[in-house]
């Protein structure tokens, strides 16, 4: 069965600092991987997705993520944090063999940005 682990339920960075949010997955076949962002009391918005076309994926708001098969990781990064990046971030995995129609979500990482 597929699964997702997000290391660190809370991450705090200074404005202008590098953002690194970690995601490791478990999947028996090449997965599809997603990062979503959620602002307080709102739904989730897609930041980016990996579908095997390229290992480095660029998303919205300056975020990007790199798929590393050897490390089973899909970490999210942004070179310079902005106050508006404060939100909760979810990594999700899907593979057609084990889940068919479903996404499996991690438990989320709450990002705080200090002025």
Partner 1 sequence: DGGITQSPKYLFRKEGQNVTLSCEQNLNHDAMYWYRQDPGQGLRLIYYSQIVNDFQKGDIAEGYSVSREKKESFPLTVTSAQKNPTAFYLCASSLASGGSYEQYFGPGTRLTVT
> What residues line the site for partner 1 (CB under 8 A)?
9, 32, 34, 36, 41-46, 49, 51, 90, 94, 96, 99-103, 105-108
Cα gap 73→98, rounded to integer Å: 18
User: What does the chain look like in DSSP terms, one character per residue?
Assistant: --EEE-S-SEEEEETTS-EEE--EEE-SSPPEEEEEEE-TTS-EEEEEEE-SS-SEEE-GGG-EEEEETTTTEEEEEESS--GGG-EEEEEEEE-TTTTTT--EE---EEEEEE-
Nearer CB in complex with partner 1: 19/36 = 36
To partner 1, the closest distance from the beta carbon of 44 in angstroms equals 4
Nearer CB in complex with partner 1: 9/28 = 9
To partner 1, the closest distance from the beta carbon of 62 in angstroms equals 19
Nearer CB in complex with partner 1: 77/105 = 105
To partner 1, the closest distance from the beta carbon of 58 in angstroms equals 15
Nearer CB in complex with partner 1: 100/115 = 100
Cα gap 97→29, rounded to integer Å: 7
To partner 1, the closest distance from the beta carbon of 15 in angstroms equals 26
């Amino acid at each position: 069965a597929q699964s997702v682990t997000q290391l660190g339920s809370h991450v705090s960075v200074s404005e202008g600092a590098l953002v690194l949010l970690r995601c490791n997955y478990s999947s028996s076949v090449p997965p599809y991987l997603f990062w979503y962002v959620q602002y307080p009391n709102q739904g989730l918005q897609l930041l980016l997705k990996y579908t095997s076309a390229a290992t480095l994926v660029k998303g919205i708001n300056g975020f990007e993520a790199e798929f590393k098969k050897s490390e089973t990781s899909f970490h999210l990064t942004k070179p310079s944090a902005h106050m508006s990046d404060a939100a909760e971030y979810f990594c999700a995995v899907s593979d057609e063999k084990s889940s068919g129609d479903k996404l499996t979500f991690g438990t989320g990482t709450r990002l705080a940005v200090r002025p």
